[in-house]
Amino acid sequence: RASQRRPSRIAPKEASVASALNGGDGKALRRAFGGEGFDRLLPALRELNRRGEPGPLDGVIGPPAPFLKDLRRGGLSPSALETLARCPFQFFASRVLGLAEPERPSECGEVSPAVKGEIYHAILRGFYARLEAQGFWERPDAPFPDRVLGEAEDEVFGRFTWRSLGVYPLLWEIVSDAMRGNLRRFLAWDITELRAGGLRPLLLETRLEAELPVRLPAALAGMPFQGRADRIDAGSGRFRV
């Protein structure tokens, strides 16, 4: 809290807030926010700085009935559980209050991780679907299917251009070339590993949902856990998610 920090370690605006909270005239703060804004701000700051029982500005709410109802119907995903475990307030702010920041597709100087992830997923999905349709896994000695990978890449990259992403043309050329190289290296390793384990991709981008044998609060009784598996491999009497 600003009023409890050493003056030498706080910014001028913080010093003004501390001065006002401790009975000073707070003239600098009044000038910064305007008289009317300052008069509204100071009582709120004092209330937030007060110790003791929660007050009307402390964000105490009752059970979020609409959210819990949606949760019982739609369930929780692994990513939502990760957020809840990592930072409960982030979960509350983003999932309950809907305050998550909108994801921007890209900036002129970069391609966002979300866009890259979307492209990678689409290419891999198309690549493995083509391999299955062409009977690739029935031919254990078949060489790496460069042509098939090229087709999958061209189909997806054809939907993403530097204009649609809002980035510089040279940047997109460099990024897309790097992504093609990453895919080639990963898939060469992946196919070798699949063959060694007697597995093959069975399902792609598959939604999974089930009730888990865990004790839940009464308000969440019967809530399913759901998510989307990128890929499910099967073979030799076993499977892998």
Dihedral (CA of 67, 68, 74, 76) sign: positive
pLDDT tier, 78 (very low <50, low <70, confident <90, very high otherwise)? confident
Tell me: pLDDT of 204 over 80. yes
Element spanning 111, H or E = strand 110-111
Residues near 149 by Cβ (< 8 Å), separated by ≥ 6? 123, 127, 183, 184, 187
Task: In whole angstroms, give the CA distance from residue 184 to residue 59.
Answer: 51
* Coil, strand or helix at 200: strand
| pLDDT for 35 | 58
Q: What integer is the mean pLDDT of 156-182?
A: 91
pLDDT tier, 31 (very low <50, low <70, confident <90, very high otherwise)? low
Task: In whole angstroms, give the CA distance from residue 60 to residue 131.
Answer: 55
pTM of whole model > 0.95? no
Tell me: pLDDT of 2 over 50. no
Q: What integer is the mean pLDDT of 44-62?
A: 78
Percent of the chain with pLDDT over 70: 79
| pLDDT for 7 | 47
Q: What integer is the mean pLDDT of 108-120?
A: 86
Distance of CA 89 to the CA centre of its chain: 15
Residues near 122 by Cβ (< 8 Å), separated by ≥ 6? 156
Task: In whole angstroms, give the CA distance from residue 96 to residue 166.
Answer: 32
- pLDDT tens sequence across 126-152: 999 999 999 999 999 999 999 999 999
